[in-house]
Amino acid sequence: MSSQSQYGGDSNMQSKQSASSSEKHVEKASTPGRRAEKKLRAGVLGATGIVGQRLVSLLAGHPWFELTEVAASERSSGKTYAEAVRWHLDAPIPQVARNLVVKGLDPSLDCDFVFSALDSSVAGPAEEDFARAGYPVVSNCRNHRMDPDVPLLIPEVNAAHLDAIPWQQKNRGYDTGFIVTNPNCSTAGLVLVLKPLADAFGLEKIFVVTLQAISGEEEKMEAEPQKLLGKWDGSRFVDAGIGLSAHCNRVPVIDGHLECISVGLKKIASLDEVREAIRNFEVDAELASLPTALRNPVVVLDEENRPQPRRDVHAGNGMAAVVGRIRECPLLDVKLTLLSHNLVRGAAGAALLNAELLAARGFLKHRVTSSESHLAEPVSQ
pLDDT at 323 over 60: yes
Per-residue confidence (pLDDT) for residue 67, from 0 to 100: 98
Per-residue confidence (pLDDT) for residue 49, from 0 to 100: 95
Query: How far, in Å, CA of 113 to CA of 132, rounded?
Result: 12
Sort strands 178-181 and 237-238 into parallel, antiparallel or unpaired: unpaired
> Per-residue pLDDT tens for 51-87?
999 999 999 999 999 999 999 988 899 999 999 999 9
Q: Exposed e or buried b for every residue in 141-151, given b needs 16+ CB within 10 A?
A: bbbbbebebbb
> Per-residue pLDDT tens for 113-154?
999 999 999 999 999 999 999 999 999 999 999 999 999 999
Mean pLDDT calculated for residue range 23-31: 59
Lowest mean pLDDT among 5-14, 17-26, 274-283, 338-347: 5-14
Q: Per-residue confidence at 23, pLDDT binned at 50, 70, 90?
A: low
Per-residue confidence (pLDDT) for residue 218, from 0 to 100: 87
Terminal-residue alpha carbon distance, the chain: 55
Per-residue confidence (pLDDT) for residue 20, from 0 to 100: 53
Per-residue confidence (pLDDT) for residue 24, from 0 to 100: 60
Per-residue confidence (pLDDT) for residue 237, from 0 to 100: 96
pLDDT at 374 over 90: no
- Which active-site residues does the annotation give? 185, 257
Per-residue confidence (pLDDT) for residue 371, from 0 to 100: 52
Residue 10's Cβ-count burial label (10 Å; 0-12, 13-18, 19+) is exposed
Q: Per-residue confidence at 172, pLDDT binned at 50, 70, 90?
A: very high
Per-residue confidence (pLDDT) for residue 370, from 0 to 100: 56
Helices and strands in the chain: count of H runs, count of E runs: 14, 14
Question: How many of the other CB atoms lie within 10 Å of CB of 77?
Answer: 15
Per-residue confidence (pLDDT) for residue 14, from 0 to 100: 35
Query: How far, in Å, CA of 117 to CA of 76, rounded?
Result: 15
Crossing angle, helix 165-172 and helix 120-132, to 10 degrees? Answer: 90
Give yes or no for a contact between 28 and 15, defined as CB atoms under 8 angstroms apart: no
Give me the count of residues in the chain: 381
Query: How far, in Å, CA of 90 to CA of 351, rounded?
Result: 21
Q: Where are the alpha helices (DSSP H) in 38-137?
A: 50-59, 81-84, 95-98, 120-132
Mean pLDDT calculated for residue range 270-287: 97
Query: How far, in Å, CA of 319 to CA of 315, rounded?
Result: 7
Q: Per-residue confidence at 159, pLDDT binned at 50, 70, 90?
A: very high
* Residues in CB range of 268: below 8 A, 6 or more apart: none
> Per-residue pLDDT tens for 326-335?
999 999 999 9
| Full-model pTM | 0.91
